[in-house]
Amino acid sequence: MRAILYLAWRNLFRNTRRTAASLVTVAFGATGLLIFQGFNEGLMNQYRENTIRVRFGHGQVFPKGYFEQVFEQPWKQWIEDRAGVEAGLSSIPQVKGVYPRIGFFSFVIKGGINLAARGEGVLPERENEFFSRMNFEAGRDLRDAGEIVIGKGLAHSLDVKVGDTITLLGQTIHGQMNGADLIVAGIFHTGKKDFDDGFFRVHLDAAQRLLDTTRIEHFALQTGGVEDWPVVSQAITEKLPQLEAKPFEDLDAVYYKNSVQFLNTQFSFIRSIMLIIVALGIFNTIAVGLLERAGEVGALRANGESRSRLFSIYLCESFFLGLIGGAIGIGAAVILDKTLLAGGIPMPPGPGITRQYFILLEIQPSHFVQSLSLPALTTVLASLWPIWNLTRKAIPALLRAN
């Protein structure tokens, strides 16, 4: 076996033109594959981080049976023992932040304009550092109970700017009307049109006063990372059975979960097409190269070399071509990532999104392995038929070929 590998390695350098043509084909495929995988990873990670750091956190905790259910008086299901639940959640080692919230609907009034919008009461002194992707195009994030931050579309509809006073008018849990005058501290533009067109945030104290309650609807959680959520969810089930935990992808199933599943399927299909194109290119290059070597194969066969030994040598040669070409392609992709693509790839707004993004390549260690192994495997598979066909020919036909 060592002799076969040695002969296959030496054969690579006997005809530099033929070897270079094969290496270029493989390297282009490996470069495209690695850049594509890095782009895919960057797109998914940015989408995920925006989803987590704009609204949902790594997940949220609700009263058991509350999520996606409709109640005539939902506040009766809300969490009463806020301090106890916070202490229980904070005791889980993977939980890095606990954020109590209330979601509610109210009318937002400015002058003669009266719009219905969805609001959220939060604790800005806790949330502002972690929920940092609101992308304020004017003003700043929420600070105290006399302020409000609103989406760009809602601000446009109300014709308000930072520093204006708007009125919230809503119903308390007792069925009475209540209102609050708040100063616009900031206008955000997350890129999600339905969110920016009808969403606002106020201080939790202001929301509780407006609704006349001290209860909490749910808690958003910050963990050490998305990989920690299964452990956190299991711990909540064991320690706090009256609650249920939902990961961020379930909370944003329409925009995030469904989009990720769609894009992953699409990217897998495109990756398969890329590998097929590479395989066809390699097949053509190797087939032409082997036809040029028909006389060489005939001479070796005439001198006593067996078909199986020649088959093994040429197959190992193709494998080396795939590995070397993959390594060259990886080097080219890394250079492109650090130079031409260092500033990111500008992406137009996607479906339901109104803001442009710049996607940075995020090449992971597993991508290097794939970009090295898949071209090598593709090269071997693409060369099987030409090598088998050549080694099966009769010796006189091989000697006459050249």
Residues 248-262: pLDDT tens digits? 988 887 777 777 788
Can you give the pLDDT at residue 351? 63
Residue 376's H or E segment, with its range, is helix 365-391
Q: How far apart are CA 278 and CA 78, in angstroms?
A: 58
Q: Are 226 and 48 in contact (CB under 8 A)?
A: yes
Ranges of H-type helices in 52-118: 82-90
Mean pLDDT per 10-residue segment, the chain (402 residues): 78 78 85 88 85 92 90 91 94 95 95 93 94 91 95 94 95 92 95 90 96 95 94 94 92 78 82 79 74 79 83 86 91 92 81 74 88 85 84 80 64
Nearest 5°: phi and psi at 80?
-90, -40
Q: Which residues pair with 147 in a beta bridge?
A: 183
> What's the longest Cα–Cα distance across the chain?
102
Query: By CB neighbour count within 10 A (0-12 exposed, 13-18 middle, 19+ buried), where does 294 fall?
Result: middle
Instruction: Tell me whether strands 218-223 and 59-63 are parallel, antiparallel or unpaired.
Output: antiparallel
Ranges of H-type helices in 12-162: 16-51, 82-90, 124-127, 152-158
Smallest Cα–Cα separation from 378: which of 273, 238, 308? 273
Smallest Cα–Cα separation from 33: which of 386, 285, 377? 377
Report pTM. Answer: 0.77
- In DSSP notation, 249-315 reads HHHTIIIIIHHHHHHHHHHHHHHHHHHHHHHHHHHHHHHHHHHHTHHHHHHHHHTT--HHHHHHHHH
